[in-house]
Amino acid sequence: MIDKTPGHASAEEWLTWPGAMVWRRTFPGRTDQIRCARNFAASLFEGSKRQEDVRELVSELAANAVVHTRSGRPGGWFGLEVIIDKLVRIAVRDLGGAGTPNVRIELLAGSELCTSGRGLFLVRAKTVGIGVHGSPAHGHTVWADIDLDTEPEALPGAW
């Protein structure tokens, strides 16, 4: 019998050990901090087959916060939350702005006419679910759920 206590588990098994693990961190709302957020989150998934997906998702969500909300203004910030449980939740908190983040419907229909707004569509393709809560006045949290047991290629809209 193989000993499956935490000290004898593989990296992937340890990442998915029962019980949620939560990390939160804030970053100044500057474009150079997108890389910092991406690397921080990816480091939590060292040894996982989804590490690069996490890196790409955080890049997109953090970039949206910095480019499209008050987070990118002087003194602004964005927050990153990573929750590892049965699913992995990647969430980015922004300071709000003029609109609400959404997945472009025309992209779901396969339209080639859109030249912007593809980010959350691409996030959706790598995840088992995405969502937004909050408001333009008080800020949004945009989240994406990843199933570590699912191969990225097996997702319906995989890149």
Domain locations along the chain: 19-154
State the average pLDDT for the chain. Answer: 81
Compute the distance between CA of residue 54 and CA of residue 101 in angstroms, rounded to an integer. Answer: 19
CA 59 to CA 46: how far, in whole Å? 17
Cβ neighbourhood burial of 18 (10 Å; 0-12, 13-18, 19+)? exposed
pLDDT score, position 40: 97
pLDDT in tens, 83-106: 988 899 999 999 999 887 765 544
Model confidence at 22: pLDDT above 60: yes
* Confidence category of residue 29, pLDDT binned at 50, 70, 90: very high
pLDDT at 156: 53
Residue 4 scores a pLDDT above 60 = no
pLDDT number for residue 109: 45
Could you identify the residue written with the tokens 């191969």? Answer: 151
Q: Options 3.40.50.2000, 3.30.390.50, 3.30.565.10, 3.40.920.10; which CATH number does 19-154 get?
A: 3.30.565.10
Cα 31 from chain centre: 16
User: Could you count the other beta carbons within 10 Å of the beta carbon of residue 95?
Assistant: 21
pLDDT of residue 120: 65
The residue among 127 and 119 whose pLDDT is bigger is 127
pLDDT confidence band for 113 (50 / 70 / 90): very low
